[in-house]
Amino acid sequence: MNSSQGDILIGIDAGTSVIKAVGFDLSGRQLGAASVPNSYDAGPQGAATQDMARTWADCAAALRGLAERIPDLAARTA
């Protein structure tokens, strides 16, 4: 497939402990992954609170890390 046709899908998992970005080809094969530690505040009765600005910044950092592992990621993303 021509890389200009968008041959990569990206999944993001923004969990409480780690934010992961994973790139897959269109058949579902993993091409690369990157992760960034996440932080949260523990509240009463097991509640977890995340700063959404921080979470967004960490998602962007994980995506930059993924881009370092997969050539032309931005241009190839479906």
One pLDDT digit (tens) per residue for the chain, 78 residues: 444 579 999 999 999 889 999 999 999 999 999 999 998 899 999 898 999 999 999 999 999 999 999 999 999 998
pLDDT for res 5: 76
- Give the separation between CA 78 and CA 54, rounded to whole angstroms: 26
pLDDT for res 4: 54
Cβ–Cβ < 8 Å for 26, 54:
no
Q: How many helices (H) and strands (E) does the chain have?
A: 2, 5
User: Whole-model pTM?
Assistant: 0.85
Q: If DSSP codes are grouped into helix, strand and coil, which group holds residue 36?
A: strand
Residue that has been written with the tokens 């994973």 in this structure: 22
pLDDT for res 16: 86
pLDDT for res 33: 99
